[in-house]
RNA sequence: GGGCGCUUGGCGCAGUGGCUAGCGCGUCUCGUUUACACCGAGCAGGUCGGGGGUUCGAAUCCCUCAGCGCCCACCA
């Protein structure tokens, strides 16, 4: 580090070191190196969408993972941070489809399935994974040799095998159900992909005539008049005295107007679901377009009339006037029609919650359709394994226990408990697990894992199916992974999940579904010969992501050898998962169930839930608001370390993060401070008698009080860091680093060390009679302390600031003396600092007393500076102070006082008497006087002292009263009592001193 | 309708029964002294959301009210 720039320039440093780490394979995990002495540590990245670009959310999430991974490496663990991307079905298909329509004016259907999928792959190769290169810019230490994609060939096989396996277990079934239908993307969605949004709309009241009692009308309130043509009943609460008498009668549905009367006759039914407080207490029932209505329909065996096309436009069953209209347009027209026929009674403004497609941001259309569903596996185990708050009473740091347990026995038995951080998410998880609904896993898309089911419909007496069934059974006996399900009309009566619905266009049919591992080519060709076709649907993207922790580690899906890959054996279960609470159900819960079901063990030991990044005003980051900063731009302007540090510093555990660019600026300033502190060490090192080389040995006999103090502060910082890591409190960790390095090391220690480092003093003479005469030996000793502290500090910083610490580690020469694998090559593998132990402390003579004495001396400095400011003495003007010490002070300390007070001299006078023109203050380590020789503003000083005295009085009285209370003195613990007595004595001493000073001014 | 979280100086936050309630940012004043103006020094600024209770002692524990936010839920 010869020519050191005055300011840190991250741009010239970051790429260099990232390449250095890659070249030396620093991020590559080797299962063979794992041993009881070198335990494994693993994280799988939450795979970002392959279409994604880096957002502040990614920065937060991945910085935390990188911090954990880098810390674990320094702890001597074998670390695997496994990266990759997610194929993100809907998102990716949407991106490519939009591109296609923009550039070629074609739809995906124009291209056809195979060609379209080719285009998606081409797009993926070209643009996909931009985010991967962005993660590298951030400094992420992922093992890129193991990068995975959820559509990789071997990953896809895992997905298919899992499907067949669950199908065999009877957990996957096909069913015609009410699903969340997205008319924009024209696919079914899971419940989790629906977000509720408050919508302002209207509640329309319309009347219907009771067929059996002409002239009697019921009024119905609805928000969706366009679905009237789909109504097949009107429901009232059977306990509702107003209406119960009408149950069993019929009403005439007003729409479609042109339909014959008998087609529009629908029954009035009684159902408990109807709330008689709401609206008029009469509910229109549309079993084909509303989830609750569907269930009412099931209970009363109502017909289902589907009046919409899949794209959300009305079909002919909605009637001439509505046919072809978009559902929202149809709503307006339906209202007009009702008004026209005099059926509309009123319309009132109404706000309700409407389900929206999370991806496409359009209202969901509840729609009856045939889909694949999964009954969740391993639910009980998954529910029990997450530690609830009540479980943990009396367990101070269970994470430490976890780590130790794992280190102790390398072959781990199945883990019992998993911890969430913050733990309150366990409750949310628990609640969801208690109310699990079957998961709709099929999607009407092309980009994704195609459902490995071949099926054929036939008439009930079709001979081909039975014959084929027999044939397939022989394959099955030979161990092929296939499963058949024969659907016959009879099953309908049993009300089972495998309900075969009557196909409206055809007669009853039977169907043979065959789930096959797609690698069973013989079987598939046999099926295809017999006219079987593969299900056109693909699986929900999360149906592949839920296997991520083990499908990425070489899991084959073959149960007999599921733990046979070295990677799985070494790194599964993973240690930590870092993710956002928004995907706790989508991903975390499902991974836990999959972990148990397919690996027989939980997938991770700890889950850290980050907060959500918001803007300064607390709004969510969003593209439409334009309030989402580009992290790459921030990295360009401030450096990756600055972005990381600024983000971590403002990200307390469990709370949302308000992003403010000022935080990044602060991170940059901090890096610069670190840079300059090292630069200072280089500059003082090359002058005087010491060379620029690292000073190794510290001589206990030559330590100054400040040296001892900073070593003790370093010790405290290391301990605090360890606690923060154990509790996943990264903002605490950065706060500790900030305080220790900036306030304690730079502001106090470095400034004080200048007394020992003074080149003048080192020459053996001094300009100041009161100054100590530090020898050259003391000087190099202080340099050695600085090197000790800095080399530890850099290591404490490294997980947070990987680039600048690597640059300084080498630049300062700290790498030189270290063994190759312990920091000699890179700070990445330098050992994490240990707290200073008792041996160390006694060898160097470090005691709590030293710490207190320096802090008392520093208080003297602060008070002295305060006096200066109150006397309006310019910061650069040299003055003389007089000190009447409470106890003996070393020459070094007096010299430090002189330096830090920017004084010509600090004279120690045991019997100094204050005079009229002297300002003064009493501190624990003595009375400080600032003689002003007539320059003093007596009135101002009187006022200041009076104010001071008032405050002192108030505090003294408070303590006096406490001590006067016998209840207090009797019940309070001895140490607290003692502390209060001391406090009173201190206040009284200050009171006396201030009174005396005030009195002196009166003369 | 249930559940969870939050409320401490202008802003963002620490502080789970006992130091004079801290920290960072910001504001203001002074300052180019052997790293750093991306800096240093100093001042100002808080009845800890309201009310009640437990206790010798409450920002901290309990009750209650209010406000804000999030999640879950089939009132059309």
Q: Is A129 left (phi over 0), alpha (psi -120 to 50) or beta?
A: left
Q: Which of A443-452, A459-468, A809-818 has the lowest mean pLDDT?
A: A459-468
Residue A769's pLDDT is 40
- Is residue A100 within 8 A of residue A111, CB to CB? The reply is yes
Query: Is this complex's ipTM strictly greater than 0.85?
Result: yes
Is the confidence at residue A358, as pLDDT, over 50? Answer: yes
Residue A661 beta carbon within 7 A of nucleic strand B: no
Q: Which of A6-20, A224-238, A383-397, A942-956 has the lowest mean pLDDT?
A: A383-397
Judged on CB neighbours under 10 Å (0-12, 13-18, 19+), A619 is exposed
Alpha-carbon distance of A397 to A384, in angstroms, equals 20
Nucleotides in B strand less than 7 A from protein CB: 3-6, 12-14, 18-20, 23-26, 29-43, 56-57, 71-76
Q: Which nucleotide is nearest to A674 (CA to C1')?
A: B36
Alpha-carbon distance of A452 to A524, in angstroms, equals 10
- The encoded tokens of residue A587 equal 């991903």
Select the more confidently predicted residue: A623 or A502.
Answer: A623
HEC string of A741-798 equals: HHHHHHHHHHHHHHHHHCHHHHCCCCCCCCCCCCCHHHHHHHHHHHHHHHHHHHHHHC
Residue A192 beta carbon within 7 A of nucleic strand B: yes
Is the confidence at residue A360, as pLDDT, over 90? Answer: no
Residue A746 beta carbon within 7 A of nucleic strand B: yes
Q: Looking at residues A35-51, what average pLDDT do you find?
A: 94
Q: Looking at residues A130-145, what average pLDDT do you find?
A: 95
State pTM to two decimals. Answer: 0.90
Q: Report which listed range, A520-534, A667-681, A813-827, is most confident.
A: A667-681
Rg of chain A on CA atoms, in Å: 38
Residue A652 beta carbon within 7 A of nucleic strand B: yes
Residue A983 beta carbon within 7 A of nucleic strand B: yes
Q: Which of A225-234, A328-337, A893-902, A993-1002 has the lowest mean pLDDT?
A: A993-1002
Residue A195's pLDDT is 87
Q: How far is the CA of A655 from the C1' of B7 (A)?
A: 14
Q: How far is the CA of A703 from the C1' of B62 (A)?
A: 53
Residue A955 beta carbon within 7 A of nucleic strand B: yes
Residue A552's pLDDT is 95
Q: What is the rounded average pLDDT for all residues in chain A?
A: 85
- Is residue A389 within 8 A of residue A423, CB to CB? The reply is yes
Q: Please report, rounded to a whole number, the percentage of residues in chain A having pLDDT higher than 70.
A: 90
Q: Which nucleotide is nearest to A295 (CA to C1')?
A: B74
Q: Which nucleotide is nearest to A274 (CA to C1')?
A: B75
Q: How far is the CA of A919 from the C1' of B9 (A)?
A: 30
Is the confidence at residue A115, as pLDDT, over 90? Answer: yes
Q: Looking at residues A266-281, what average pLDDT do you find?
A: 88
Residue A662 beta carbon within 7 A of nucleic strand B: yes
Residues 885-924 of A with CB under 7 A from strand B: 902
Is the confidence at residue A601, as pLDDT, over 90? Answer: no
Q: How far is the CA of A833 from the C1' of B8 (A)?
A: 35
Residue A289 beta carbon within 7 A of nucleic strand B: no
- The encoded tokens of residue A295 equal 């269930």
- Is residue A831 within 8 A of residue A76, CB to CB? The reply is yes
Q: How far is the CA of A425 from the C1' of B4 (A)?
A: 9
Eight-state DSSP code of residue A687: S
Residue A582 confidence class, pLDDT cut points 50, 70, 90:
confident
Q: How far is the CA of A735 from the C1' of B46 (A)?
A: 22
Q: Looking at residues A391-414, what average pLDDT do you find?
A: 39
Q: Looking at residues A466-473, what average pLDDT do you find?
A: 80
Q: Which nucleotide is nearest to A760 (CA to C1')?
A: B34
**What H or E segment, with its residue span, contains residue A319?**
none
Residue A401's pLDDT is 37
Q: Looking at residues A405-409, what average pLDDT do you find?
A: 36
Residue A972 beta carbon within 7 A of nucleic strand B: yes
Q: Report which listed range, A542-551, A605-614, A687-696, A839-848, is most confident.
A: A542-551
- Burial pattern A885-919, b for ≥16 Cβ within 10 A else e, equals beeebeebbbbbbbbbbbbebbbbeeebebeebbb
Residue A561's pLDDT is 55
Q: Which nucleotide is nearest to A874 (CA to C1')?
A: B30
Residues 13-32 of A with CB under 7 A from strand B: none
Residue A503's pLDDT is 46
Q: Which nucleotide is nearest to A668 (CA to C1')?
A: B38
Q: Is A253 left (phi over 0), alpha (psi -120 to 50) or beta?
A: beta
Q: A767-778, pLDDT tens digit by residue?
A: 444 344 557 788
Q: Looking at residues A393-412, what average pLDDT do you find?
A: 37
Is the confidence at residue A493, as pLDDT, over 50? Answer: no
Phi, psi for residue A426 in degrees, rounded to 5: -60, -35
């Amino acid at each position: 580090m010869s020519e050191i720039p005055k300011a840190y320039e991250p741009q010239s440093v970051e790429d260099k070191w990232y390449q250095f780490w890659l070249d030396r394979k620093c991020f590559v995990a080797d299962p063979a190196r794992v041993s009881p002495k070198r335990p494994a540590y693993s994280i799988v990245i939450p795979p970002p969408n392959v279409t994604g670009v880096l957002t502040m959310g990614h920065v937060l999430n991945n910085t935390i993972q990188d911090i954990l991974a880098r810390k674990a490496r320094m702890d001597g663990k074998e670390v695997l941070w496994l990266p990759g991307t997610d194929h993100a079905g809907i998102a990716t298909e949407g991106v490519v489809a939009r591109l296609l329509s923009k550039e070629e004016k074609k739809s995906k259907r124009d291209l056809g399935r195979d060609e379209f999928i080719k285009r998606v792959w081409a797009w993926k190769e070209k643009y996909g994974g931009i985010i991967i290169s962005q993660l590298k810019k951030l400094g992420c230490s992922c093992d890129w040799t193991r990068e995975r994609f959820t559509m990789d060939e071997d990953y896809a096989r895992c997905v298919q095998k899992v499907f067949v396996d669950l199908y065999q277990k009877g957990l996957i079934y096909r069913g015609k159900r009410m699903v969340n239908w997205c008319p924009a993307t024209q696919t079914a969605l899971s419940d989790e992909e629906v977000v509720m949004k408050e919508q302002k709309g209207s509640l329309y009241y319309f009347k219907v005539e009771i067929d059996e009692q002409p002239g009697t009308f019921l009024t119905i309130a609805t928000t969706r008049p366009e679905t009237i043509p789909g109504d097949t009943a009107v429901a009232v609460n059977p306990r509702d005295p107003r209406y119960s008498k009408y149950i069993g009668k019929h009403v005439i549905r007003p729409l479609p107007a042109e339909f014959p009367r008998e087609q529009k006759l629908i029954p009035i039914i009684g159902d408990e679901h109807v709330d008689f407080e709401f609206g008029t207490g009469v509910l229109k029932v549309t079993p084909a377009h509303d989830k609750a209505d569907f269930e009412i329909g099931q209970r009363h065996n109502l017909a289902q009339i589907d009046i919409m096309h899949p794209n959300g436009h009305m079909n002919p069953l909605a009637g001439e006037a509505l046919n072809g209209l978009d559902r929202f347009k149809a709503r307006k027209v339906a209202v007009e029609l009702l008004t026209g026929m005099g059926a509309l009674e009123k319309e009132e403004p109404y706000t309700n919650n409407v389900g929206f497609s999370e991806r496409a941001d359009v209202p969901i259309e509840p729609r009856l359709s045939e889909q694949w569903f999964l009954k969740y596996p391993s639910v009980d185990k998954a529910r029990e394994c997450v530690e609830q708050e009540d479980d943990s009473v009396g367990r101070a740091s269970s994470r430490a226990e976890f780590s130790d347990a794992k280190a102790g026995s390398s072959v781990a038995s199945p883990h019992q408990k998993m911890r969430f951080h913050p733990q309150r998410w366990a409750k949310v998880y628990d609640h969801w697990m208690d109310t699990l609904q079957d998961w709709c896993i099929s999607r009407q898309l092309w980009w994704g894992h195609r459902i490995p089911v071949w099926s054929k419909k036939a008439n009930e007496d079709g001979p081909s199916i039975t014959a084929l069934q027999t044939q397939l059974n022989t394959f099955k006996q030979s161990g092929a992974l296939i499963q058949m399900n024969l659907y016959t009309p009879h099953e309908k009566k049993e009300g089972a999940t495998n309900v075969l619905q009557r196909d409206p266009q055809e007669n009853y049919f039977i169907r043979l579904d065959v789930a096959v591992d797609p690698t069973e080519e013989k079987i598939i060709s046999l099926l295809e010969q017999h006219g079987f076709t593969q299900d056109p649907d693909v699986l929900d993207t999360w149906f592949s992501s839920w296997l991520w922790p083990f499908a990425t580690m070489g899991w084959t899906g073959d149960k007999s050898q599921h733990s046979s890959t070295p990677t799985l054996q070494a790194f599964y279960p993973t240690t930590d998962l870092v993710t956002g609470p928004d995907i706790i159900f989508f991903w975390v819960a499902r991974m836990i169930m999959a972990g148990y079901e397919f690996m027989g063990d939980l997938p991770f030991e700890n889950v850290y839930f980050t907060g959500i990044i918001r803007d300064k005003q607390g709004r969510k980051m969003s593209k439409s608001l334009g309030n989402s900063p580009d992290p790459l731009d921030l990295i360009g302007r401030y450096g990756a370390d600055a972005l990381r540090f600024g983000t971590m510093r403002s990200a307390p555990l469990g709370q949302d993060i308000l992003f403010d660019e000022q935080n990044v600026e602060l991170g940059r300033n901090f890096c610069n401070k670190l840079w300059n502190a090292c630069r200072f060490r280089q500059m003082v090192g090359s002058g005087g008698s010491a060379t620029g080389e690292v000073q190794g040995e510290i001589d206990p006999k030559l330590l100054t009080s400040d040296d001892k103090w900073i070593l003790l502060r370093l010790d405290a910082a290391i301990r605090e860091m360890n606690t923060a890591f154990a509790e996943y409190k990264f903002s605490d960790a950065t706060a500790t680093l900030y305080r220790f390095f900036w306030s304690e090391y730079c502001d106090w220690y470095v400034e004080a060390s200048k007394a020992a480092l003074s080149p003048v003093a080192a020459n053996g003479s001094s300009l100041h009679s009161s100054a100590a005469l530090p020898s050259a030996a003391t000087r190099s000793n202080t340099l050695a302390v600085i090197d000790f502290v800095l080399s530890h500090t850099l290591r404490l910083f490294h997980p947070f600031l990987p680039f600048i610490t690597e640059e300084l580690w080498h630049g300062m020469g700290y790498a030189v003396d270290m063994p190759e694998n312990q920091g000699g090559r890179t700070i990445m593998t330098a050992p994490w600092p240990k707290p200073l132990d008792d041996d160390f402390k006694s060898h160097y003579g470090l005691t709590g007393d030293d710490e207190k004495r320096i802090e008392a001396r520093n208080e003297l400095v602060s008070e002295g500076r305060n006096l200066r400011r109150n006397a309006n003495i310019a910061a650069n003007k040299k003055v003389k102070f007089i000190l009447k010490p409470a106890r003996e002070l070393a020459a070094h300390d007096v010299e430090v006082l002189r330096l830090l007070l920017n004084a010509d001299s600090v004279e120690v006078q045991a019997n100094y008497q204050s005079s009229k023109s002297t300002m003064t203050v009493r501190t624990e380590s003595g009375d400080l006087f600032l003689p002003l020789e007539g320059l003093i503003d007596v009135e101002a000083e009187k006022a200041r002292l009076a104010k001071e005295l008032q405050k002192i009085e108030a505090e003294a009285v408070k303590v006096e009263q406490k001590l006067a209370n016998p209840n207090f003195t009797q019940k309070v613990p001895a140490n607290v009592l003692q502390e209060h007595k001391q406090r009173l004595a201190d206040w009284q001493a200050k009171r006396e001193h201030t009174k005396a000073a005030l009195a002196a001014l009166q003369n």
